[in-house]
Amino acid sequence: MDHGAFASMNLRNDGWWDGGQGQGLVLSGYERSEAMASYEALATYTEAFLGAYLKHDSAAASFLKQSPTTHGVPKHMMNVDSHAAAGLPSTLEALRSELEMRGFDHAQQMMAEARDSDPAFTVNEKSLLAWGSSDLLDQGKTSEATEVFMLAVALFPNSSSSFADLGEAYFRAGNKAKAVENLKKALDLDRTNYFAMDRLKQLR
């Protein structure tokens, strides 16, 4: 599938094939029908991959495990090779990608799996909280932010900031009891956490 015609624009363009570039490929052994077949095969597998890993579609995941010829791809045109992931690297970027792919409600399970393979696995607390606050909570993604902050308090049980952010997520979700519980915990850990102090005053 390595040729200049491998683009939907060129596949649709009769003039391109009748002109110099297209004719050059034909003379070198490529036919337009081959280009169209290979493009369609890759597009089909790309769609299945995105469906399996972003939408958690079991049918798409099953599709990827089958041979290309099963799906009508001409023999010898495509070879599918895959390798199981070796585990999460110790970076927030990797954690974010995994959470977005598998679902935020799997955060605790993911961390347990990561630490099974690497007991030292961790992420930077400030970066984790900043992501949960700026990219999730402030964007209205309250349930996702709550899961991130729950992960933060599990990773950093002595962190007043993590409990304060979890309390804030519950506050915005309208769960007063959980908000108070976590904001009080934040104050127990740090009596100078003025954010938690002010928010508790609003809740009384």
Q: Is residue 190 part of a domain?
A: yes
Q: Tell whether 96 and 56 lie within a shared domain.
A: no
pLDDT value at 150 more than 80 = yes
Q: How confident is the model at residue 87 (pLDDT cuts 50, 70, 90)?
A: low
Query: pLDDT by residue (tens digit) across 103-145?
Result: 898 888 888 888 888 787 788 899 899 999 998 999 999 999 9
Are 165 and 152 in contact, with CB atoms under 8 Å apart?
Answer: yes
pLDDT value at 42 more than 80 = yes
Q: How confident is the model at residue 5 (pLDDT cuts 50, 70, 90)?
A: low
Which residue carries 């990219």 as its tokens? 135
Give the mean pLDDT of 136-157: 94
Diameter of the chain by CA atoms? 80
Give CA–CA dist 121/83, Å, rounded: 22
Q: Is residue 191 part of a domain?
A: yes
Q: Tell whether 175 and 106 lie within a shared domain.
A: yes
* pTM score, whole prediction: 0.57
The pLDDT value recorded for residue 6 is 62
Q: Is residue 174 part of a domain?
A: yes
Q: Tell whether 35 and 99 lie within a shared domain.
A: no
The H or E element containing residue 59 is: helix 58-65
Domain boundary among 40, 71, 102: 71
Where residue 113 sits, what CATH number does that domain have? 1.25.40.10
Are 93 and 127 in contact, with CB atoms under 8 Å apart?
Answer: no
Q: Tell whether 66 and 166 lie within a shared domain.
A: no
pLDDT value at 88 more than 60 = no
Q: Tell whether 33 and 116 lie within a shared domain.
A: no
Q: Tell whether 103 and 172 lie within a shared domain.
A: yes
Q: Tell whether 162 and 112 lie within a shared domain.
A: yes
Average pLDDT of the chain is: 84
Q: Is residue 82 part of a domain?
A: no
Q: Is residue 81 part of a domain?
A: no
Of 158, 100, 91, give the one whose Cα is nearest residue 128: 91
Q: Tell whether 106 and 195 lie within a shared domain.
A: yes
Which residue carries 């003025």 as its tokens? 194
Q: Is residue 1 part of a domain?
A: no
Range of the domain at 51: 8-71
Q: Tell whether 19 and 64 lie within a shared domain.
A: yes
% of the chain with per-residue pLDDT over 70: 86
Q: Tell whether 97 and 36 lie within a shared domain.
A: no
The pLDDT value recorded for residue 1 is 45
Q: Tell whether 45 and 136 lie within a shared domain.
A: no
CA distances from 76 to 24, 28, 31, 63 (A): 23, 18, 15, 18
Q: Total structural domains in the chain?
A: 2
Which long-range contacts (C-beta less than 8 Å, at least 24 apart) are formed by 110-115?
A: 111/151, 111/154, 111/155, 113/87, 114/87, 114/88
Which long-range contacts (C-beta less than 8 Å, at least 24 apart) are formed by 6-11?
A: 6/35, 6/38, 6/39, 7/39, 8/39, 10/35, 11/35, 11/36, 11/39
